[in-house]
Structure 1
Amino acid sequence: MNGDTQEQIIDAAGGFWEQIYLTLRLMLIPSRLNQVGIVLMLMLIAHLLSRFLSPRLRGWLRTREGWPKWRLRLGLMIDRRLRLILFTAMTWIVVLVMQQITFPSLSHVIRQAATIATAVLFIAFMSRLIGNALVRRIAKWAAWIWAVLYLLDLSNDAARLLDSFALSLGTVRLSALTVLQAMAVMTALLAGARLVTGAVSRKLGESADLSPTMRVLVAKILQIVLFTLAIVVGLKAIGVDLTGLAVFSGAVGVGLGFGLQKVVSNLVSGVIILLDKSVKPGDVISLGDTFGWIDALGARYVSVVTRDGKEYLIPNEDLVTSQVVNWSHTNDFVRLDVHFGTAYQDDPHKVSKVAINAAMSVKRVLAQRTPVCWITGFGESSVDYVLRFWISDAQGGLTNVRGQVFLALWDAFKENDISIPFPQREVRVLGDNGDTTPKFIAGD
């Protein structure tokens, strides 16, 4: 830090402190002390009222069953800021009354306190648009400080002080003021982008003309464009020449391409999945040993929820390069097979008819696609059959509907005296004289 920079910092700090001292002296002159007293009294009244009203407001919110979440969250925000809301409302009422019965200068301090309270309250509510808690807290406090300085006419001196803390990088002069301005611009734009993408996503979700994959694709493209625009505008705000970053970004892109091959592959695979509509939210898929329905399509992975409540995050690349069974790709119809066997003395024609009727008694089995039953072979102990039927709700599970069909077969076979055989084995015990008379017969 050179001598000129030190002198600028000292000069700016002195001017800022002098302005603060002058503001305090003007506020504490005898003609304005009564206004300061009124402001303090209003703060005390607002505190007491909030302690009285807050428990009742929370109790009333607990009784609001069926309210949407945004209303409940708004009610909780009002409860947390109830003291400030009451103080702001009472202060403006006092200002309006005093302007009617006395000179405006006699309510200057009260009006200034009301203006500051209004700005603080507005910032507190608007900061909820920022999703990240840490960023929201930093942005909120920074906006509060700037609002107070601006309303007290101290913003110019504070900006001069921050601008004196500067660092020169080639042709770019980077000061604390420009960095804070860029952060404020990017935070505001990112919050706006998040609000716009959320609203667009909700509107797309209500549209019946777009497929689920197109809704996700449009929302993601809009999110990428708006977020990129926010970062570019923020960098331009601090004076960064983006044209000079072209060669550097190309070199960095090559290095990142080798180091982040899997990540890039998953991102590109995600775009391919959205474009070719091979899978979409709600589809029932099988990938290896994983069977479940797609809950969400992410930029890097697909969320698949199984019947036992487990959520698998499958990389997009696996869905593009591996063999995936999509049970509901072109339509929702799925055919299932159930294998069983009956004794040789049972009439096969009767067995087939009874098995078809048993399958049709299960609710999830489609009646418009009549089940069929065929003999598949003559086994050692039974005549083997396959019963084929169709369902249209694979997301409801496959094992359970097979189990229901097996139970229906069991009950139907009992009612119609059809037996389900099991293998029989004959054990012969040879005596010392070579006698082969059966001594023991057992069934497996």
Structure 2
Amino acid sequence: MEPEEQTQPKDALAESTAEALEFGQRIWELAAEGAGLLLRPWNAYQAGIALALFVLAALIARPVAGAFHDWLRQREGWPRWRMRAGLVLHKRIRGILFVLLIWVVVLVMQEATWPSRSRLLAVIANLSLAWLIVAFATRLVGNPLLRNSVRYGAWIWITLRILGVTAEATALLDAIAIEFGDLRISLYLVVQAAVILGVMLTLARVISSVAANRIRSNSDISPSMQVLGAKMAQILLFGGAFFIGLKAIGIDLTGLAVLSGAIGVGLGFGLQKVVSNLVSGLIILLDKSIKPGDVISLGDTFGWINALGARYVSVVTRDGREYLIPNEDLITSQVVNWSHSNKFVRLDLTFGTGYGDDPHKVRQIAIEAAVSVARVLQAGDRKPVCHITGFGDSSVDYVLRFWIDDPTGGLTNIRGNVYLALWDAFQTEGISIPFPQREVRMLNDPLPVRVAPAGNEG
């Protein structure tokens, strides 16, 4: 190994140590200066005023928070985002009151006395206001881990900015680094990447949510295209935010091209089913074969589509079960879509009556019974009809056909209601419903004795 290569890690370690000592010395000087300032009469008074204002804000916050909570409970018609904003305000009432009180005191003291006599209060007011703004702004971040990281990182950075030690902190974080050849990753780069990517992904999340709501509220777009548009907007916004964030940090994206290609080949072999479901989901959205709200049958599963996901379709059955069916199954299997082109569904009921009943009267009674059920259509070419299908062993067989236009309401229940109406109508009109009867004899039972009729003797 060359002597120059041996001295480089030692020089980097010495530089990091020097930066750390310089930063620690600066913090010690600030702490000593702050302790000295607090010992001064007016600064001690300002610290006492700030503590008293905090206690006053805590005392006022209790009744105000209770009244505000009762007021929020009465807002029943508010949208969800407004209720969430109200709950965030409810949790921060004490901080809001403290910021208002301390800024009022700072403004009054700046007008009534020397500026130096309110300098400490001004620093506390700036820190409190900055922390409050950060707390509200980071509520937009959905991931709890990312939200806490951005929140505390922003608080620390703002505190360093107000105290005037950002240059020393930046130099210290940049000195703590790991080098891999020409690649140098410092702690400052990691912190900067986390903050910038967090901000960019949060903006992408907010914009994608607004865009998705706008797309779903447009009645001119079909439900399947609404889902496709929302998914495409999310992919474009989050992907753009990620790459813009990397570019803003200073990472060269050209080196990621070869790496992404290798990763893509590996994922293609290892995640075939996942990729197949993703592609199948895109095909389903493009060909509009199914959409949210459609009633489908797939094997033994019958229900309506609740949501179209990237990997699966959510189907809710009449008994409340929710099946997550992979998109590939909907592409490769036979699916019955009861409401693909329209929502009209024809149902057939079979029954039989005795040979002693007039078939013309039976057909008329059956049609009237079907019409009496609320969900059965009664107009146009979709009126109920009844036909004879054959002469059975013990009954004349019929089929009753009727239409409905709300398959989401269920099929078994409407069949049951029509059967019940048929039963009531046949009971009222005296129409018999025959059923097979069998005579069972035991092998050891004696044969019945036949008695000859009178007059046949001899």
TM range (shorter): over 0.9
Structure 2 counterparts to residues 169-318 of structure 1, below 5 A: 169-318=180-329
Structure 1, 401-410 or 90-99: larger mean CA deviation = 90-99
Tell me, in whole angstroms, the C-alpha distance in 2 between the residues paired with 1:14 and 1:436.
Answer: 123
Q: What is the DSSP-based 3-state SS (H/G/I as helix, E as strand, rest coil) of the residue aligned with 1:337?
A: strand
Q: CA deviation at 1:241?
A: 2.2
Q: Is the contact made by 1:429 and 1:437 (CA closer than 8 Å) also made in structure 2? A: no
Q: What is the DSSP-based 3-state SS (H/G/I as helix, E as strand, rest coil) of the residue aligned with 1:34?
A: helix
Quote the residue 1:374 is aligned against. 387
Tell me, in whole angstroms, the C-alpha distance in 1 between the residues paired with 2:106 and 2:328.
Answer: 65
Quote the residue 2:374 is aligned against. 363
Q: Is the contact made by 1:181 and 1:237 (CA closer than 8 Å) also made in structure 2? A: no
Letter matched to residue 19 of structure 2: A
5+ residue gaps, structure 1, are 439-444
Letter matched to residue 360 of structure 1: V
Q: Is the contact made by 2:57 and 2:98 (CA closer than 8 Å) also made in structure 1? A: yes
| Identity percentage of aligned residues | 56
Q: What is the DSSP-based 3-state SS (H/G/I as helix, E as strand, rest coil) of the residue aligned with 1:2?
A: helix
Structure 1, 22-31 or 274-283: larger mean CA deviation = 22-31
Q: What is the DSSP-based 3-state SS (H/G/I as helix, E as strand, rest coil) of the residue aligned with 2:305?
A: strand
Q: CA deviation at 1:105?
A: 3.0
Tell me, in whole angstroms, the C-alpha distance in 1 between the residues paired with 2:216 and 2:445.
Answer: 85
Residue 392 of structure 1 pairs with residue 405 of structure 2? yes
Q: Deviations over 1:374-393 (max 9, x none)?
A: 11111111111111110010
Q: CA deviation at 1:160?
A: 1.1
Quote the residue 2:29 is aligned against. 22
Query: What is the TM-score with the length of structure 2 in the denominator?
Result: 0.91
Quote the residue 2:422 is aligned against. 409
Q: CA deviation at 1:284?
A: 0.7
Structure 1's 436 and 147: CA in aligned 2 closer, same or farther, altered over 3 A?
Answer: farther
Q: What is the DSSP-based 3-state SS (H/G/I as helix, E as strand, rest coil) of the residue aligned with 1:208?
A: coil
Structure 1, 103-112 or 424-433: larger mean CA deviation = 424-433
Structure 1's 401 and 434: CA in aligned 2 closer, same or farther, altered over 3 A?
Answer: closer
Q: Which structure: larger Rg?
A: 2
Letter matched to residue 321 of structure 2: K
Residue 4 of structure 1 pairs with residue 17 of structure 2? no
Letter matched to residue 43 of structure 2: R
Quote the residue 1:441 is aligned against. none
Quote the residue 2:3 is aligned against. none
Tell me, in whole angstroms, the C-alpha distance in 2 between the residues paired with 1:68 and 1:314.
Answer: 31
Q: What is the DSSP-based 3-state SS (H/G/I as helix, E as strand, rest coil) of the residue aligned with 2:102?
A: helix
Structure 1's 101 and 432: CA in aligned 2 closer, same or farther, altered over 3 A?
Answer: closer
Tell me, in whole angstroms, the C-alpha distance in 2 between the residues paired with 1:295 and 1:250.
Answer: 36
Aligned counterpart for 1:49 among listed residues 60, 65, 68 = 60
Q: What is the DSSP-based 3-state SS (H/G/I as helix, E as strand, rest coil) of the residue aligned with 2:438?
A: strand
Quote the residue 1:442 is aligned against. none
Q: CA deviation at 1:203?
A: 1.2
Aligned residues: 438
Q: Deviations over 1:394-440 (max 9, x none)?
A: 001000000000011011111111111111224568999976859xx
Quote the residue 2:438 is aligned against. 425
Structure 1's 216 and 437: CA in aligned 2 closer, same or farther, altered over 3 A?
Answer: farther
Aligned counterpart for 1:64 among listed residues 42, 57, 75 = 75
5+ residue gaps, structure 2, are 1-7, 452-458
Structure 1, 386-395 or 91-100: larger mean CA deviation = 91-100
Q: What is the DSSP-based 3-state SS (H/G/I as helix, E as strand, rest coil) of the residue aligned with 1:242?
A: coil
Structure 1's 411 and 38: CA in aligned 2 closer, same or farther, altered over 3 A?
Answer: same
Structure 1, 143-152 or 352-361: larger mean CA deviation = 143-152
Tell me, in whole angstroms, the C-alpha distance in 1 between the residues paired with 2:302 and 2:56.
Answer: 62
Tell me, in whole angstroms, the C-alpha distance in 2 between the residues paired with 1:350 and 1:159.
Answer: 95
Structure 1, 225-234 or 257-266: larger mean CA deviation = 225-234
Quote the residue 1:349 is aligned against. 360
Q: CA deviation at 1:238?
A: 4.3
Structure 1, 423-432 or 24-33: larger mean CA deviation = 423-432
Q: Deviations over 1:265-287 (max 9, x none)?
A: 00001111111111111111111
Query: What is the TM-score with the length of structure 1 in the denominator?
Result: 0.94
Letter matched to residue 354 of structure 1: I
